[in-house]
Amino acid sequence: DAKTTQPPSMDCAEGRAANLPCNHSTISGNEYVYWYRQIHSQGPQYIIHGLKNNETNEMASLIITEDRKSSTLILPHATLRDTAVYYCIVRNLRETSGSRLTFGEGTQLTVNP
Amino acid sequence: ETGVTQTPRHLVMGMTNKKSLKCEQHLGHNAMYWYKQSAKKPLELMFVYNFKEQTENNSVPSRFSPECPNSSHLFLHLHTLQPEDSALYLCASSLDPGTNTGELFFGEGSRLTVL
């Protein structure tokens, strides 16, 4: 799976949009971009994933650049409960060995009141 | 509530003890996973089971022994652990590889302390 690079930490004001970047310059055509988050001392939680089109769900939006070398996770109206470590993961969905995900260091997002 | 339940949530054990961690999923999934998260380190994949068969072991020491009696239950048997094995152990499940979307559902984790 391709490697991803994320900033170690970011701050955001409550009620504002949080834009979390991820670089995945070695991504291949079969690899999807996944985002998970982990609130302190809890298990990671799936947020969203995409291949090349922008995606939106009730939690967030995922913007993938045209060359697919980077992406941005957008939390449109961040709340204090969005404070967590956010992981950007690239994975080939056609793997047969289960949905193994390789987690990196992630970005610690702190939402401030 | 993710549909993946882990027990116990906290466990303290001595190096000579034998204990087990339990994971149960109520999502109808066929793949189950153990991950380890040590302090200030990324999550590390330990074991993968598909349809009760172990498909991946990431060079985990034999003092960790997994067991998957059916697709809904996963155990991690612990024996003669070391203090450096203290960590958060996370269980996850997903649909089988042929139909999955890549989404993992994680439990809340079992916090293990080895004295």
Q: Search chain B and give the residue with CA nearest A107.
A: B42
In this prediction, residue B99 carries a pLDDT of 56
Q: Do B104 and A44 touch (CB under 8 A)?
A: yes
Q: Residue B50: list chain A partners with CB under 8 A.
A: 97-98
**Calpha distance A60→A88 (Å, rounded):** 13
Q: Is B74 near chain A, with CB under 8 Å?
A: no
Tell me the shortest Cα–Cα distance from A31 to chain B, in angstroms: 11
Q: Band of the pLDDT at A94, cuts 50, 70, 90? A: low
What confidence score (pLDDT) does residue A78 get? Answer: 96
The residue of chain A nearest to residue B58, with distances taken between CA atoms, is: A100
- Closest CA–CA distance from residue B37 to any residue of chain A (Å): 10
pLDDT, mean of residues B73-95: 95
Burial annotation A7-43 (CB, 10 A radius, 16+ → b, else e): eeebebeeeeebebebbbeebeeebbbbbbbbeeebb
**A20 DSSP assignment:** E
- Residue A99 with chain B: CB contacts under 8 Å: 31, 33, 94-95, 97, 100, 102-104
A104 pLDDT more than 60 = yes
% of chain B with per-residue pLDDT over 70: 94
pLDDT number for residue A53? 87
Asked whether the beta carbons of residue A42 and residue B111 sit closer than 8 angstroms, the reply is no
Least confident of A97-101, B7-11, B24-28, B47-51: A97-101
Residue A106 has pLDDT above 80, yes or no: yes
Q: Determine the pLDDT at residue B35.
A: 95
Instruction: Say if residues A20 and A32 touch (Cβ distance below 8 Å).
Output: no
CA distance B83 to B81: 7
pLDDT tens digit string along A58-80?
999 999 999 999 999 999 999 99
Instruction: Tell me whether residues A98 and B102 touch, CB distance under 8 A.
Output: no
Q: Mean pLDDT score of chain B, rounded to an integer?
A: 91
What average pLDDT does this structure show over B78-91?
A: 95
CB contact under 8 A, B97 and A105: no
Residue A49 has pLDDT above 70, yes or no: yes
A91 chain-B contacts, CB cut-off 8 A: 102
Q: Is B48 on the interface with A (CB under 8 A)?
A: yes
pLDDT for residue A65: 96
- Indicate yes or no: CB of A99 within 8 angstroms of CB of B109: no
Residue A3 neighbours by CB distance under 10 Å: 12
Tokens of A94: 């056609």
Other beta carbons less than 10 A from residue B114's beta carbon: 19
| CA pair distance A38, B90, nearest whole angstrom | 12
